[in-house]
């Protein structure tokens, strides 16, 4: 088989890459509601899914969309929805349901500017905290932040894998700029992909406990129709899946669910650390901002400054350990974000004691390499 | 109407008996409705392995858990959305939604009308007790006028939804209503709904005795369930006596039926046809 | 041969779909009259000017027949109860005209308070009480013998044996009344009142009004006057006896002398039937006894046998006279006589050959089908008592159609004593303090007006915690749909003031009153429950009119869709005569069908059917 | 005994009755309230009156009209005493309903009496008491053929059916009068004129035909007797009584079952839990089972097959 047959170089828009990756990852159900700047994902899915025997449906709203996705996933089909800020807000309750009931699903949030309806066609990174804390109660969620079209492709596939593997909702936060960016992507051959399916229950029906706490943080899922006849609920439940408010039963279950990502850091964590070993000025950036930061850090180094870049790809759970070691030598940490300051608080917490500088932009424009470079220069000058 | 005898229906074969007694209040009509549903499923020979019950939030939402099948107790107002995904993903499953008047018509109203419009092969069972029982008795879209609830302390002045008219207008291809008192009729209506290819909507007049009944002085459980008769007055009973004897005018039985393409089948056939054309055209 | 004049005829009304009577070709002065019609005719012929009554089987038709005579001849009215009717007649008598009051035997109990004083006063215009006994209790709560009350009141009791005598004796009774200055009782029985036979009729004799007689000692019964009147009453007995010694009212039919039969009333006809050749002394008057004739008769025969229905009244009188006579040794003291019972009695007495038959013996192996009277199809009382059953109430019932709710299938009445007793009984039950169930009195509209008002007043006055269900079906249904003050229509069909029950009850002090249509099962249940929960006296008025009277209410018939019927037979608990078993079964039990001809379309069965399988026939056709 | 000789026998008997002034002719008309028993008996009474015979017609008013037993004694002759017919002395029993005819059969003169009965069955609610699975109606099981084997002169006809064929099922009583006319010696034209005067004008013609048809039927009953329509209910094997099982722990005491039970065999005990008070009364109708919101009641119905 020729190399070209294995990997196909394609010029793809970020949103299209996301859709293609989802299909490649085994997604066979998409439900969504049109919203700028994510709509191309739905459009592409509408074309792709029927060809692979999947189902595309445009629902009446975003709530219905995530509901349908969860329904499909309960049915055993990998499912996804895509939206943008306002729609993402609407999905939060059901995302919480997916967390509590441990239903795999992938939600793409192509972030756009501003609170409320904001700037639908302009970029921002305003949803990063919503992705972590958007739902009520304690949440457990994975958020991935690709910085390129190629990474949209790979992280979308990874999103499905993680979701299936850990039975958590996985949010892929895409900057509007990348979503609408057309880049060349090396699309791997399907057979070369590592695709992970959730564990299916195969133990005897009589004794099966859908939420067993037995050391394995991720219990196998019962497939409807296979005879398990289990109950799925958003209420706190015992190992049998039925509602309970007994603290003796609730505590270990919450501990398992809320702690399972922490215990699977090896699977979850993903970051990029550039020139961090000796970095005195550490830039922590993600998404499109990281691309600007990468150039800024390179320019700073070229100018003799000991600058480094830490780029979380898995934003949530936050790669604390990795950042802490990346920031070991840092005297200052700079957090440029296309928001009024969100991830900086998490960085400040992790890098406690190290001064944190912020570079924020909420005017619908991207942060440029020059801005970051300038800030690095300024920080260096102040030392 | 079915005249099949009942004797081979053993409801406990269909229940998660270890969860009993259930949590519903004395006299709550939901249990009766659930029995009729299971009876209909039994008569149709639908395997509990192939059934999925999707329910929302509220007293109605809690009923599904008592059935020994694939049960999903989802978010408030969203069971139809979940069921839509489930049915589309798994056409092999018989998907039934159990919802309440608030769940279905208020918070879930949008989902209802679109589910009706699509005509996906779902059966939606709306248990109408005219009140938000689980939250302590607030007004719902079906609360009759002048009824007292905790949020209508002076009596309800809001216009009321006729759920069946709503569903029919939205395009549900089978719409029916029945009262719990008429269990066999309710069973037969469920049978019709379950057998129907397309979206079927069944409104069950179910009594909330402990909260709504008490607040409105509607009598004890027996009186309330007997009064259901007063609430239904199919047109055919009109002028039977020289003056109407029932204050209500709820029709019962199958109220609307149309044969439209079922969403899922239509989707697959439509796509297969288009893809075939595309491939042909490509050649 | 002449055509009968329709207007003057009370005879042979051929009750079919066409209301017009058939005029048979027969002598104009001979009519086939029912006993009650003959009594009315007799009263009319006697020149009666005022007649009053409260309906009661078997006496009801008397006043209905009286009302067919011109109002200029007779003032005829329904009164709210027998005592009022009696007082009205007494008043008319005071006024110097002939007056008639009719009632059933238990009605005389109600009226007896007046009678017991009136017997001292005597009469001005002739005063006749027609009292109809009901041996066998075809439609009564007891079978008391009016002759005992006649003796108690010391008024003459006339006993006709057939319709001809009913007419004749009634006419004579007025003459006797005036002649002996005494009220007179004409005693009928069901068999006489409701038996139709040929009667030779006569003309009305106008009796000039006498005008009021101002005689306080005679007319005002205070102790001082009454002491003067009592001896007069005693003397009157003797005078009547003396009259009877030569009266045609006592008839000696001479025959074989081995046995002499003393008999009276319809029993006479049975005696003639089975013992045609015997010596018979037919007594037209049972009180006072025609002592002289009786002694002569007894002396003339070897053995005296008394054949009389109900009490051994004559028999004991004979014993008191020292005459050896037999009667109740052979003839039952209970129930109505028949030729075979009388024949059996004579066999037992050895008068007739042959062995005594067990009349209960079924021949041909036939078990007679139980077909008890039931509430009509569409009867509004059905729901009333379904509710009482559902509410598990202790129900004191009353007299009316609804008394049928005491038996299967409604079985919802715990006590029934007498007209108007229900409310008082309920008060007593409440005062006893032993009852854990809610105490409910159920009483019909006319029964309430008859004698239910004072006890309701008592309940309020004495603060009893009871509920009263006033079953206002707007007619006296039991006796065939007569009017009363609550219907707003008189005996002659003229409009008059209509009692407003709610207003009346409120004025008695009842605070909780609710009127509801008992066809609305749910609403009716609730009204009853609310009333029961009310502390104190509460009244629920069921205002659904009788399905038969005064007009037959008939909606589209209903039918059972057999496919949907699960044979629970909840509808059969209504006891509706239109419901019966069909041929199909469900789990071995019969499904139900509706007899469309009997069905009134009341939809009560529709309302209790848990399968919703009962639908109107008409609507079915449209489907 | 052949039909014709039977008719003759009745006629002869009737002639004797008219000749012997001491013996009255007795006709007992029976049926159910609302059927027109009184109307039929009045027609006979009027005939007698026309022929200047003594007549007594006796009935009971009051409760009888409410779906109950209705009977009317008609006696006529030169002299009539008793208003009621002694048992065993009825010359004719005219039954407007089958079971009512059977009820009064002991009044029929066993030697010379004629039994004329409509085969119509009016099964009262009271006869539908045995609601147990396999339970039978309390309605008489005797067929017309069984009766005819004991009373050869029996005329059992489907008067309603005959009348319906003539176009008006309400003319059933006139069909019966037609049959009756063969047993009493009154001129046919007197019957007809009385009936014509009695019925609504627009139905005179159909009633005339109904009378004629009934009369012809009785004079010459068809070989295939409509009496066969009176057939006993087929006996089904009686099944085991229903058993009611109560899961006390599930019962919340809402009381619905107690109140809806058609047999009234349930109660709430002092613990507010349902209890069966009269197990034998339970028919297994399942109302309690269906309407129990708590699934606490189970009905077990054993079929015969299951028992085997």
CATH number at residue D162: 3.40.920.10
Please tell me which residue, B230 or C7, carries the higher pLDDT value: B230
> Is residue C165 pLDDT above 50, yes or no?
yes
**Set of chain D residues whose Cβ sits within 8 Å of the Cβ of B31:** 292-295
Mutate to test the interface with B, among A54, A63, A75, A96 (most CBs of B within 10 A): A75
Q: List beta partners, residue A231.
A: B71
The pLDDT, as a whole number, for residue C611 is 78
- Alpha helices for chain D (secondary structure H): 3-19, 37-50, 98-103, 144-150, 159-166, 172-181, 188-198, 204-219, 256-260, 287-291, 304-307
Interchain contact D/A (3 or more Cβ pairs less than 8 Å): no
Q: Categorize the per-residue pLDDT at D232 as very low, low, confident or very high, splitting at 50, 70 and 90.
A: very low
Interchain contact A/B (3 or more Cβ pairs less than 8 Å): yes
φ, ψ at C435 (rounded to 5°): -90, 130
Q: Which residue of A has its CA nearest to B91?
A: A75
Q: Which residues contact D11 (CB under 8 A, 6 or more apart)?
A: D183, D185
Question: Do D122 and D251 share a structural domain?
Answer: no
Those chains having 3 or more beta-carbon pairs within 8 angstroms of chain C are B, D
Compute the distance between CA of residue B67 and CA of residue A207 in angstroms, rounded to an integer.
Answer: 18
Q: Categorize the per-residue pLDDT at C316 as very low, low, confident or very high, splitting at 50, 70 and 90.
A: very high
Compute the distance between CA of residue C328 and CA of residue C216 in angstroms, rounded to an integer.
Answer: 45
> Is residue A150 pLDDT above 80, yes or no?
yes
Residue D50 inside a domain? The answer is: yes
Minimal C-alpha gap between D184 and chain B (Å): 45
pLDDT tens-digit readout, C204-258? 999 999 999 999 999 999 999 999 999 999 999 999 999 999 999 999 999 999 9
Range(s) of the domain holding residue D46: 3-229
Residue D141 inside a domain? The answer is: yes
Question: Do D16 and D113 share a structural domain?
Answer: yes
**Enclosing H/E stretch for A8:** strand A7-13
- CB contact under 8 Å between B26 and D293, yes or no, is yes
Q: Distance of CA D235 to CAs C502, C587, C588, D120, Å?
A: 55, 15, 11, 20
Q: Which residues contact A114 (CB under 8 A, 6 or more apart)?
A: A122, A124, A126, A362, A364
**Set of chain A residues whose Cβ sits within 8 Å of the Cβ of B52:** 75, 224
> Is residue C107 pLDDT above 70, yes or no?
yes
- Averaged over A192-197, what is the pLDDT? 96
**Set of chain C residues whose Cβ sits within 8 Å of the Cβ of B204:** none
For chain B positions 37-96, those within 8 Å of chain A (CB to CB) are 48-50, 52, 54, 64-65, 68-78, 80-90, 92-93
Q: Categorize the per-residue pLDDT at D255 as very low, low, confident or very high, splitting at 50, 70 and 90.
A: very high
- CB contact under 8 Å between A94 and B78, yes or no, is yes
pLDDT tens-digit readout, B94-112? 999 999 999 999 999 999 9
Q: Is the separation of the CB atoms in A149 and A288 below 8 Å?
A: no
Q: Compute the CA torsion angle A349, A350, A356, A359 (nearest 10 deg).
A: -90
Percent of chain B topping pLDDT 70: 88
Across the B/D interface, how many CB contacts are shorter than 8 Å?
73
- CB contact under 8 Å between A63 and B78, yes or no, is yes
- Averaged over A223-243, what is the pLDDT? 96
ipTM above 0.85, yes or no: no
Question: Do D47 and D182 share a structural domain?
Answer: yes
Residue D237 inside a domain? The answer is: no
Question: Do D166 and D26 share a structural domain?
Answer: yes
> Is residue A293 pLDDT above 90, yes or no?
yes
Mutate to test the interface with D, among C401, C568, C584 (most CBs of D within 10 A): C568
**Set of chain B residues whose Cβ sits within 8 Å of the Cβ of D247:** 20
Residue D235 inside a domain? The answer is: no
- CB contact under 8 Å between D293 and B31, yes or no, is yes
Compute the distance between CA of residue C80 and CA of residue C77 in angstroms, rounded to an integer.
Answer: 10
Q: Which residues contact D104 (CB under 8 A, 6 or more apart)?
A: D28, D30, D71, D90, D93, D95
- What's the whole-number average pLDDT of chain B? 89
Those chains having 3 or more beta-carbon pairs within 8 angstroms of chain A are B
The pLDDT, as a whole number, for residue D140 is 64
- Could you give the 3-state DSSP secondary structure of residue C380? coil
Q: Is the separation of the CB atoms in B138 and B100 below 8 Å?
A: no
The partner residue sitting opposite C580, judged by closest CB among D39, D61, D123, is D123
Compute the distance between CA of residue C246 and CA of residue C243 in angstroms, rounded to an integer.
Answer: 6
Domain A3-192: top CATH class: alpha beta
In 3D space, the residue among C485, C501, C421, C419 whose CA is nearest the CA of residue C459 turns out to be C421
Question: Do D247 and D225 share a structural domain?
Answer: no
> Is residue A119 pLDDT above 70, yes or no?
yes
Lowest mean pLDDT across B213-227, C129-143, D48-62? D48-62
The pLDDT, as a whole number, for residue B5 is 60
What are the structure tokens assigned to D132, written together? 């147990």
Compute the distance between CA of residue C107 and CA of residue C55 in angstroms, rounded to an integer.
Answer: 9
Tell me which DSSP letter residue C307 carries: E
Compute the distance between CA of residue C266 and CA of residue C269 in angstroms, rounded to an integer.
Answer: 5
The pLDDT, as a whole number, for residue C111 is 97
Compute the distance between CA of residue B77 and CA of residue B100 in angstroms, rounded to an integer.
Answer: 9
Minimal C-alpha gap between C283 and chain D (Å): 16
Domain ranges (residues) in chain A:
3-192, 271-382
- Averaged over C140-169, what is the pLDDT? 96
Query: Would you tell me how many other CB atoms lie within 10 Å of the CB of residue C190?
Result: 29
- Alpha helices for B150-236 (secondary structure H): 163-170, 183-195, 214-215, 221-231
Compute the distance between CA of residue D241 and CA of residue D238 in angstroms, rounded to an integer.
Answer: 9
Q: Is D141 exposed, middle or buried (0-12, 13-18, 19+ CB in 10 A)?
A: middle
Q: Is the separation of the CB atoms in A114 and A362 below 8 Å?
A: yes
Q: Which residues contact D187 (CB under 8 A, 6 or more apart)?
A: none
pLDDT tens-digit readout, A6-48? 899 999 999 999 999 999 999 999 999 999 999 999 999 999 9
The pLDDT, as a whole number, for residue A5 is 60
Q: Which of D229, D251, D281 is the last residue of a domain?
A: D229
Across the B/C interface, how many CB contacts are shorter than 8 Å?
105
**Set of chain A residues whose Cβ sits within 8 Å of the Cβ of B86:** 71-72, 74-75, 224
Q: Which residues contact C191 (CB under 8 A, 6 or more apart)?
A: C135, C266, C336, D58, D83, D84
pLDDT tens-digit readout, A254-279? 999 999 999 999 999 999 999 999 99
Label residue C105 left, alpha or beta by phi (over 0 means left) and psi (-120 to 50 means alpha).
alpha
> Is residue C356 pLDDT above 90, yes or no?
no
Question: Do D115 and D218 share a structural domain?
Answer: yes
- Averaged over A130-146, what is the pLDDT? 96
In 3D space, the residue among C524, D189, C490 whose CA is nearest the CA of residue B247 turns out to be C524
**Set of chain B residues whose Cβ sits within 8 Å of the Cβ of C519:** 241, 245
The pLDDT, as a whole number, for residue C24 is 45
Q: List beta partners, residue D94.
A: D29, D116
Q: Does D267 touch chain B (CB under 8 A)?
A: no
Q: Which residues of C353-380 are buried (b: 16+ CB within 10 A; e: fewer)?
A: eeeeeeeeeeeeebeebebbbbbbbbbb
Q: List beta partners, residue B95.
A: B52
For chain D positions 221-250, those within 8 Å of chain B (CB to CB) are 247, 249-250
- CB contact under 8 Å between D295 and B31, yes or no, is yes
Q: Which residue of A has its CA nearest to B14?
A: A229
- Could you give the 3-state DSSP secondary structure of residue D302? coil
Question: Do D142 and D206 share a structural domain?
Answer: yes
- CB contact under 8 Å between B223 and C613, yes or no, is no
Q: Is D271 exposed, middle or buried (0-12, 13-18, 19+ CB in 10 A)?
A: exposed
Question: Do D254 and D190 share a structural domain?
Answer: no
| Domains in chain C with CATH codes | 30-244 (3.40.50.970), 250-348 (3.40.50.920), 381-542 (3.40.50.970), 558-622 (3.30.70.20)
Compute the distance between CA of residue B222 and CA of residue B201 in angstroms, rounded to an integer.
Answer: 27
The partner residue sitting opposite B230, judged by closest CB among C522, C610, C623, is C522
Q: Which residues contact C178 (CB under 8 A, 6 or more apart)?
A: C98, C123, C125, C126
Residue D182 inside a domain? The answer is: yes
- Averaged over D227-243, what is the pLDDT? 55
The pLDDT, as a whole number, for residue C74 is 96
Question: Do D300 and D253 share a structural domain?
Answer: yes
- Alpha helices for chain A (secondary structure H): 3-6, 14-24, 39-48, 62-74, 85-101, 128-133, 149-166, 176-179, 247-259, 265-268, 287-302, 320-326, 343-350, 369-382
Minimal C-alpha gap between A167 and chain B (Å): 16
- CB contact under 8 Å between B27 and D260, yes or no, is no
Domain total of chain D: 2
Query: Would you tell me how many other CB atoms lie within 10 Å of the CB of residue C95?
Result: 17
The pLDDT, as a whole number, for residue B50 is 97
Percent of chain D topping pLDDT 70: 82
Q: Which residue of C has its CA nearest to D46?
A: C24
Q: Distance of CA B82 to CAs A31, A75, A214, B99, C96, Å?
A: 11, 10, 29, 12, 95
- CB contact under 8 Å between A74 and B86, yes or no, is yes
Q: Is the separation of the CB atoms in D289 and D225 below 8 Å?
A: no
Compute the distance between CA of residue B40 and CA of residue B183 in angstroms, rounded to an integer.
Answer: 10
**Set of chain D residues whose Cβ sits within 8 Å of the Cβ of B222:** 254-256, 258-260
The enclosing domain of D272 has a CATH number of 3.30.70.20
Question: Do D182 and D114 share a structural domain?
Answer: yes
> Is residue A292 pLDDT above 60, yes or no?
yes
CATH number for the segment(s) A271-382: 3.40.50.920
Q: Which residues of C31-49 are buried (b: 16+ CB within 10 A; e: fewer)?
A: bbbbbbbbbbbbbbbbbbb
| Domains in chain B with CATH codes | 11-282 (3.40.50.970)
Q: Distance of CA C616 to CAs A157, C95, C191, C560, Å?
A: 65, 58, 42, 9
The pLDDT, as a whole number, for residue A1 is 45
Q: Categorize the per-residue pLDDT at D10 as very low, low, confident or very high, splitting at 50, 70 and 90.
A: very low
- Examine domains A3-192 and A271-382 and report if their fold is the same: yes
- Rounded to 10°, the helix D204-219/D172-181 angle is 40
**Set of chain A residues whose Cβ sits within 8 Å of the Cβ of B87:** 71
Q: Which residue of B has its CA nearest to C603?
A: B240
Count how many Cα atoms sit within 13 Å of the Cα of residue C523 in the half-sphere of its side chain. 19
Helices (H) and strands (E) in chain B, counts: 10, 9
Mutate to test the interface with B, among C558, C565, C612 (most CBs of B within 10 A): C612
φ, ψ at A83 (rounded to 5°): -160, -170
Q: Which residue of D has its CA nearest to B184?
A: D290
- Averaged over C98-108, what is the pLDDT? 97
Q: Categorize the per-residue pLDDT at B278 as very low, low, confident or very high, splitting at 50, 70 and 90.
A: confident
For chain D positions 48-77, those within 8 Å of chain C (CB to CB) are 49-50, 52, 54-69
Residue D40 inside a domain? The answer is: yes
- Averaged over D148-152, what is the pLDDT? 79
For chain C positions 457-486, those within 8 Å of chain D (CB to CB) are 478-480
Tell me the residue ranges of DSSP E strands in C233-349: 250-253, 256-263, 278-283, 285-287, 304-307
**Enclosing H/E stretch for C514:** strand C512-516
> Is residue A109 pLDDT above 60, yes or no?
yes
Residue D75 inside a domain? The answer is: yes
Q: Which residues contact C334 (CB under 8 A, 6 or more apart)?
A: C143, C310
The pLDDT, as a whole number, for residue B103 is 97
The partner residue sitting opposite B32, judged by closest CB among D258, D259, D291, is D291
Question: Do D250 and D133 share a structural domain?
Answer: no
């Amino acid at each position: 088989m020729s190399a070209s047959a294995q990997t196909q170089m394609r010029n793809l828009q970020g949103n299209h890459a996301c859709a293609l990756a989802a299909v490649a990852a085994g997604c066979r159900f998409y439900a969504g509601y049109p919203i700028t700047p994510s709509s191309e994902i739905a459009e592409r899915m509408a074309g792709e899914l029927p060809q692979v025997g999947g189902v595309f449906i445009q629902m009446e709203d975003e709530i219905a969309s995530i509901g349908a996705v969860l329904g499909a996933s309960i049915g055993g089909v990998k499912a996804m929805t895509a939206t943008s800020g306002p729609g993402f807000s609407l999905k939060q309750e059901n995302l919480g349901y997916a967390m509590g009931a441990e239903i795999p699903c992938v939600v793409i949030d192509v972030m756009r500017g501003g609170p409320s309806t904001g700037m639908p066609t302009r970029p921002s990174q305003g949803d990063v905290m919503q992705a972590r804390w958007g739902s009520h109660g304690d949440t457990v969620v994975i958020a991935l932040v690709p910085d390129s079209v190629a990474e949209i492709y790979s992280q979308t596939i990874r999103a499905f894998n993680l979701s299936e593997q850990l039975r958590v909702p996985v949010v892929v936060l895409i900057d509007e700029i990348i979503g609408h960016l057309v880049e060349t992507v090396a699309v791997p051959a399907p057979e070369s992909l590592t695709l992970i399916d959730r564990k299916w229950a195969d133990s005897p029906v009589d004794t099966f406990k859908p939420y067993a706490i037995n050391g394995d943080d991720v219990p196998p899922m019962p497939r409807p129709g296979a005879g398990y006849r289990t109950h799925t609920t958003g209420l706190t439940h015992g190992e049998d899946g039925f509602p309970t408010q007994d603290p003796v039963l609730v505590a270990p279950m919450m501990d398992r669910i809320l702690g399972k990502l922490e215990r699977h850091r090896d699977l979850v964590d993903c970051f990029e650390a550039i020139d961090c070993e000796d970095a005195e000025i550490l830039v922590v950036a993600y998404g499109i901002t990281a691309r600007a930061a990468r150039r800024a850090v390179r320019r700073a180094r070229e100018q003799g400054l000991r600058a480094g870049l830490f780029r979380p790809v898995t934003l949530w759970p936050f790669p604390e350990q990795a950042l802490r070691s990346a920031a070991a030598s840092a005297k200052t940490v700079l957090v440029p974000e296309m928001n009024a300051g969100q991830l900086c608080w998490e960085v400040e917490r992790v890098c406690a004691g190290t001064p944190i500088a912020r570079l924020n932009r909420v005017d619908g424009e991207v942060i440029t390499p020059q801005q970051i470079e300038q800030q690095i220069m300024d920080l260096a000058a102040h030392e | 109407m079915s005249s099949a005898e009942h004797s081979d229906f053993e409801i406990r074969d269909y229940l998660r008996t270890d969860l009993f007694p259930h949590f519903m209040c004395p006299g709550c009509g939901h249990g009766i409705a659930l029995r009729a549903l299971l009876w209909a499923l039994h008569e149709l020979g639908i395997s509990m392995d192939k059934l999925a019950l999707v329910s929302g939030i509220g007293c109605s939402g809690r009923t599904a858990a008592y059935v020994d099948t694939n049960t999903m107790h989802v978010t408030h107002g969203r069971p139809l959305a979940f069921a839509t995904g489930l049915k589309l993903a798994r056409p092999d499953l018989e998907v039934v939604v159990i919802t309440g008047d608030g769940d279905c018509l208020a918070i879930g109203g949008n989902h209802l009308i679109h589910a009706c419009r699509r005509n996906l092969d779902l059966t939606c069972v709306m248990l109408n007790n005219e009140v938000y029982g689980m939250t302590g008795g607030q007004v719902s879209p079906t609360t009759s006028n002048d009824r007292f609830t905790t949020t209508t302390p002076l009596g309800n002045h809001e216009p009321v939804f006729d759920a069946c008219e709503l569903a029919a207008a939205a395009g549900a291809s089978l719409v029916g209503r029945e009262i719990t008192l008429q269990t066999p009729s309710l069973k037969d209506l469920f049978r019709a709904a379950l057998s129907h290819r397309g979206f079927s909507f069944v409104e069950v007049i179910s009594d909330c005795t402990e909260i709504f009944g008490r607040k409105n002085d509607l009598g004890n459980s027996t009186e309330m369930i007997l009064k259901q008769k007063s609430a239904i007055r199919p047109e055919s009973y009109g002028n039977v006596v020289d003056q109407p004897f029932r204050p209500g005018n709820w029709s019962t039985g199958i109220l609307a039926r149309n044969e439209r393409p079922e969403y899922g089948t239509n989707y697959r056939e439509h796509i297969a046809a288009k893809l075939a054309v595309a491939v042909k055209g490509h050649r | 041969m002449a055509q009968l004049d329709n207007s003057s005829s009370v005879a042979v009304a051929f009750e079919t779909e066409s209301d017009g009577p058939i005029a048979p070709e027969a002598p104009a002065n001979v009519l086939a009259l029912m006993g009650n019609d003959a009594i009315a005719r007799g009263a009319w012929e006697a020149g009666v000017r005022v007649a009053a009554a409260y309906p009661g089987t078997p006496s009801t038709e008397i006043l209905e027949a009286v009302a067919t005579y011109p109002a200029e001849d007779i003032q005829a009215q329904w009164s709210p109860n027998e005592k009022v009717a009696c007082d009205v007649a007494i008043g008319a008598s005071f006024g110097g005209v002939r007056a008639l009051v009719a009632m059933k035997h238990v009605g005389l109990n109600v009226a007896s308070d007046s009678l017991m004083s009136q017997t001292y006063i005597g009469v001005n215009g002739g005063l006749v009480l027609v009292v109809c006994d009901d041996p066998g209790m075809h439609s009564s709560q007891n079978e008391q013998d009016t002759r005992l009350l006649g003796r108690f009141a010391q008024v003459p009791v006339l006993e006709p044996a057939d319709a001809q005598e009913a007419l004749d004796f009634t006419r004579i009774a007025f003459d006797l009344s005036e002649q002996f200055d005494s009220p007179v009782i004409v005693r009928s029985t069901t068999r006489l009142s409701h038996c139709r036979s040929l009667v030779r009729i006569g003309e009305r004799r106008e009796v000039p009004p006498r005008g009021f007689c101002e005689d306080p000692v005679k007319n005002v019964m205070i102790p001082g006057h009454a002491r003067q009147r009592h001896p007069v009453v005693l003397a009157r007995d003797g005078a009547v006896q003396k009259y009877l010694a030569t009266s045609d009212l006592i008839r000696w039919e001479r025959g074989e002398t081995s046995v002499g039969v003393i008999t009276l009333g319809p029993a006479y006809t049975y005696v003639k039937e089975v013992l045609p050749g015997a010596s018979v002394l037919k007594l037209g008057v049972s009180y006072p006894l025609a002592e002289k004739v009786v002694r002569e008769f007894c002396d003339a025969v070897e053995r005296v046998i008394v054949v009389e229905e109900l009490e051994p009244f004559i028999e004991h009188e004979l014993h008191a006279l020292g005459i050896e006579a037999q009667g109740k040794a052979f003839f039952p003291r209970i129930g109505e006589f028949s030729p075979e019972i009388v024949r059996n009695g004579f066999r037992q007495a050895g008068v007739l050959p042959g062995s005594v038959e067990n009349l209960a013996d079924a021949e041909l192996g036939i078990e007679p089908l139980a077909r008890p009277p039931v509430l009509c199809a569409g009867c509004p009382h059905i729901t009333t008592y379904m509710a009482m059953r559902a509410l598990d109430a202790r129900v004191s019932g009353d007299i009316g159609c609804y008394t049928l709710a005491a038996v299967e299938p409604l079985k919802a009445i715990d006590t029934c004593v007498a007209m108007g007793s229900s409310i008082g009984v309920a008060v007593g039950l409440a005062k006893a303090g032993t009852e854990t169930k809610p105490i409910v009195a159920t009483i019909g509209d006319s029964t309430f007006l008859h004698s239910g008002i004072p006890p309701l007043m008592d309940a309020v006055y004495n603060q009893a915690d009871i509920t009263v269900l006033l079953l206002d079906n707007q007619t006296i249904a039991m006796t065939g749909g007569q009017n009363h003050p609550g219907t707003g229509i008189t005996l002659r069909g003229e409009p008059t003031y209509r009692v407003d029950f709610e207003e009346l009850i409120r004025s008695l002090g009842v605070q909780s009153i609710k009127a509801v249509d008992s066809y609305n099962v749910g609403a009716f249940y609730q009204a009853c429950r609310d009333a029961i929960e009310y502390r104190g006296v509460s009244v629920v008025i069921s205002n659904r009119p009788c399905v038969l009277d005064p007009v037959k209410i008939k909606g589209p018939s209903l039918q059972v869709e057999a496919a949907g019927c699960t044979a629970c037979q909840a509808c059969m608990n209504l006891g509706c005569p239109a419901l019966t078993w069909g041929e199909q079964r469900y789990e071995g039990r019969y499904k139900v069908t509706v007899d469309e001809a009997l069905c009134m379309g009341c939809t009560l069965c529709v309302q209790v059917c848990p399968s919703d399988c009962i639908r109107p026939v008409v609507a079915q056709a449209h489907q | 005994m052949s039909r014709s000789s039977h008719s003759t026998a009745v006629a002869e008997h009737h002639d004797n009755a008219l000749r012997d002034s001491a013996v009255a002719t007795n006709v007992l008309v029976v049926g159910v309230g609302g059927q027109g028993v009184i109307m039929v008996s009045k027609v006979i009474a009027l005939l007698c009156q026309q022929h200047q015979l003594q007549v007594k017609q006796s009935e009971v008013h009051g409760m009888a009209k409410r779906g109950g037993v209705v009977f009317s004694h008609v006696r006529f002759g030169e002299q009539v005493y008793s208003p009621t017919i002694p048992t065993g002395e009825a010359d004719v029993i005219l039954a407007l309903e089958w079971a009512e005819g059977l009820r009064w059969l002991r009044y029929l003169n066993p030697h010379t009496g004629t039994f004329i009965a409509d085969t119509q069955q009016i099964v009262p609610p009271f006869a539908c008491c045995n609601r147990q699975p396999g339970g039978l109606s309390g309605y008489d099981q005797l067929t017309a053929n069984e009766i005819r084997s004991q009373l050869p002169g029996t005329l059992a006809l489907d008067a309603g059916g005959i009348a319906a064929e003539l176009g008006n099922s309400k003319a059933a009583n006139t069909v019966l009068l037609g049959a009756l006319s063969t047993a009493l010696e009154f001129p046919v034209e007197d019957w007809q004129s009385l009936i014509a005067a009695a019925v609504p004008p627009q139905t005179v013609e159909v009633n005339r035909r109904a009378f004629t048809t009934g009369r012809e039927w009785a004079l010459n009953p068809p070989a295939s007797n409509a009496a066969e329509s009176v057939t006993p209910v087929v006996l089904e094997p009686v099944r085991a009584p229903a058993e009611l099982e109560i899961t006390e722990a599930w019962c919340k005491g809402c009381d619905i079952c107690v109140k809806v039970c058609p047999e009234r065999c349930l109660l709430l005990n002092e613990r507010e839990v349902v209890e069966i008070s009269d197990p034998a009364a339970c028919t297994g109708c399942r109302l309690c089972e269906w309407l129990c919101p708590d699934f606490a009641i189970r009905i077990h119905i054993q079929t015969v097959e299951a028992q085997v």
